[in-house]
Structure 1
Amino acid sequence: MSMIRLADLDIHRTETDEITPEGHVLVTALDRSGLLRICLYEGAEPSDENYRGCLIVPRGSQPQDSSRIKAYDAEGAFVTSDGDNKAKLACLAGQAGESTQSSEPQSLTARYFQRHIASEQESFTRAARRIAEVASHVADNPPSESSRIASGEIVRLAAYVADLLRTASKLEATIEVMRATEGEASQKG
């Protein structure tokens, strides 16, 4: 069952254009929260059963600005933010070396973990960059008699480091679960 139902969308357009994967149709619509979605459906007409995923266009962005747009599969799992919109839609359609449907439940689980890991790695990278920026600012502005700003920055830096450690812990746990799942699958197979 898809997470996005046609009945829940305020549809602006249904079309097949130059970025639409072959054998699919696009629906451009607003969801109930007001987010612009470019939904991908297999076949000539959209239906809930043929939903393959969507691109979410952040508020304040244009659909042509592919750098800020992320792709999510039919179950709502993050797929990618890499490439242009055509590449993202091809990935959702299964034309980028990966099928959107699998007869093996294990491969679905592995795909979920891989996507989750990629999302966590992205969060980890953002948090590490934020820490580097704050640490650089603290290093450039050491505590002085006239300013207590540095202590506030250090407290903020400590909070960012704690967030980074939590993200790293979640990432490591997810990788361990994926390895255990793969190990069980190979023993059964």
Structure 2
Amino acid sequence: MTIFSIAVDGDVVAAVDNDGLAMLSVHVRGSVTEPHAAVLSCDGTLTAGHADGYRVWLQELQLRAGQVVTVRMGDSGAAVTPAQDPPGPHHGLSPESVATLGRTHPPPGALDVAAARSHARVRPGFSFALDLSNGKGCAVRSDPADEMFQCLVIWTLDWEPECARVQASASSRERILRRERETPAFEGRLFRGDSVTIRCGD
């Protein structure tokens, strides 16, 4: 059993036990079309045999510039957070998780394209810094073509379950609509006892 503890500015907001899970993911994402610096969430799926396998442990929590998210992978820690009901009908994993796992989505329809392009920029750009407890990390400031970023910690039962992957990337709405890959900024791994911190910039 491994517990993933998620804290904001040192205060634990969720802790998830991976026993019985097929996948667990923690997302920190931000967009220039949103006024807040980033959004933090945590979701995952149960192992086969469950009728409704999707679970949410932390629904979207808005973050301010300067706030720090810490994800720690350990044997024990904070009390485990009960799973929440999804905020609405859900038909599988989040888009971030699906993209990371290499699964396919149907091409966006005309309404999806129009909706994606309708949101105006409310910030000129974004920045974030990611640091692993082993000393590796990255610092990213967007260039004019970037509109969004994602930092992801993902654990899967069927891929090296002794560790979790850590990934950071940047992209834009047009690139996503064209189904192009995001620009990678960092790739690493967490093992038991390791942690990663993500500091939200402006």
Shorter-chain TM-score: what band?
A: under 0.3
Larger helix fraction of residues: 1
What is the TM-score with the length of structure 2 in the denominator? 0.25
**Higher RCO (CA-CA < 8 Å; seq separation 6+):** 2
TM-score (norm 1): 0.26
User: Considering only CA atoms, is the larger Rg found in Structure 1 or Structure 2?
Assistant: 1
